Amino acid sequence: MEFNGATMMSVGPDDKVYPAVTIAAMVHALGEENIALSDALSGIHISKGALASPSTRVSLNQIIACYSNAARLSHNPQFAYQTGLGFHVTTYGMFGFAILSSTDFRHAAKFAVKYRLLAAPEMEVFFKDENERAVWTFVPTAHPRVNAKLYRFLVDLHFGIATALHRDVMGPSFAPQELQVKFGRPTDARLYEEAFGCRVLYGQPDNKLIYDAAWLDRTPEMGNPITHSLLVTLCDELLEELNLRVGLVGKVRHVLLVNLMKPTSFDAIAKHLHMTSRTLGRKLREENTSYRKLVDELRMHMGIKYLRDTDLTIEEIAYAMGFSDAANFRRAFRRWTKGTPLKIRDFLSAT
């Protein structure tokens, strides 16, 4: 049985809807390496005081900028994984405690995937129970700044986070059996494998953390059905808050995403949302955006994802995204990113 939460909702990269806890944890880890706060927060536009506030909300762009700074500034090749091991259920508030209080590990996995936007918007997460193996798959979100170096950083970080969370809920003896990664064998492969303590397979189709499914049959020591039910309700409220923060823009993005291969007119979207085109245009302006900006943003996101995660040709990607031909896709892509699809693909795959 496989669970995924990839289509849960549509949130823009500049929407400030996520708690700042992951940025705070990363900044703290960089501080342990004597990296200046100003460097750790370069380009993020957030104060030290705001990081400590539970009411602070940040965007995906800010989170990615923070991880990009960390990948650039740290001189420890195992920094991402070791930092990930420092993330615990307490890092994620209600989301983490809901996992901890679950009375069934399979249910906990399903919950973690369904509500992952409360914890890790930079990573798409999938879980599959394969009878003898439990498999977590991690797919870094498509983003212009996620090149090969940052891609590996995010994968290493989430391998560490996943290991730490499993140890929190299953016990300190938990360890993965095998890791599979999309990137090639690094020069520090021996140290890499020693850090993870298990076999690592390189150049695989997906990034996977695999362990014995027998772990899933154990009884959670901290499970409590009443507490878990209460915490799930609180997580639902957090998601509702996230939805409300996204607002009308999120609804428009969702319609655009569903109809990606058959572009939908502005008038059709307005009708779908039960309002006039004039009203929709005004409301979008009030949220500091426009229909054209949302279309370009979504198409750029999907174009990057296709270029990075598939071997499709430029012509095939253009067709999948609803362009009449590859030339129109190339022109649009240059307008979005200031680069050609092939140059962006080279950048995303560069070491």
pLDDT tens, 334-346? 888 888 888 888 8
Its pTM stands at 0.78
Q: Determine contact, residues 223/101, Cβ cutoff 8 Å.
A: yes
CB atoms within 10 A of CB 76: 12
Token pair in block for residue 264: 């939908």
Q: Read out DSSP for 152-201?
A: HHHHHHHHHHHHHHHHHHH-TT---SEEE-SSPPPTTHHHHHHHHTSEEE
Token pair in block for residue 191: 């140290």
Q: Quick one: which H or E segment has residue 335?
A: helix 326-337
Query: Under 8 Å CB-to-CB from 294, ≥6 apart: which residues?
Result: 12, 249, 252, 253, 256, 284
Question: What value does the mean pLDDT take over residues 17-35?
Answer: 93
Q: Determine contact, residues 93/203, Cβ cutoff 8 Å.
A: no
User: Please, how many CA atoms are within 13 Å of residue 261, restricted to the half-sphere of its CB?
Assistant: 4
- Beta strand 199-201 pairing with 178-180: parallel
Domain extent listing, the chain: 2-236, 259-349
Burial (0-12, 13-18, 19+ Cβ within 10 Å), 132: exposed
Pick the more confident residue, 211 or 303: 211
CATH of 259-349, one of 3.30.70.100, 1.10.10.10, 1.10.10.60, 3.40.1280.10: 1.10.10.60
Task: Provide the total of helices (H) and of strands (E) in the chain, helices listed first.
Answer: 16, 8
Q: Is the dihedral of CA 185, 201, 145, 258 positive or negative?
A: positive
Burial (0-12, 13-18, 19+ Cβ within 10 Å), 205: exposed
**pLDDT > 90? residue 319:** no
pLDDT tens, 220-270? 999 999 999 999 998 888 877 776 566 788 778 778 877 776 768 899 999
| CA dist., res. 12 & res. 22, Å (int) | 18
Q: Determine contact, residues 10/253, Cβ cutoff 8 Å.
A: yes
pLDDT tens, 120-137? 889 999 999 998 999 999
Question: What per-residue confidence (pLDDT) applies to 7?
Answer: 39
**pLDDT > 70? residue 63:** yes
Question: What value does the mean pLDDT take over residues 259-282?
Answer: 86
Query: Under 8 Å CB-to-CB from 24, ≥6 apart: which residues?
Result: 51, 52
> Looking at beta carbons, which pairs linking 280-286 to residues 24 or more positions away fall under 8 Å?
280/248, 280/252, 283/248, 284/248, 284/249, 284/252
Q: Which residue, 101, 113, 142, is CA-closest to 13? A: 142
Question: What per-residue confidence (pLDDT) applies to 132?
Answer: 93
Lowest mean pLDDT among 27-31, 194-198, 219-223: 194-198
| Alpha helices in 33-134, H assignment, sequence order | 37-40, 48-51, 60-73, 79-85, 93-100, 105-114
| Proportion of the chain above pLDDT 90, given as a percent | 50
| Alpha helices in 224-265, H assignment, sequence order | 225-258
Q: Determine contact, residues 156/80, Cβ cutoff 8 Å.
A: yes
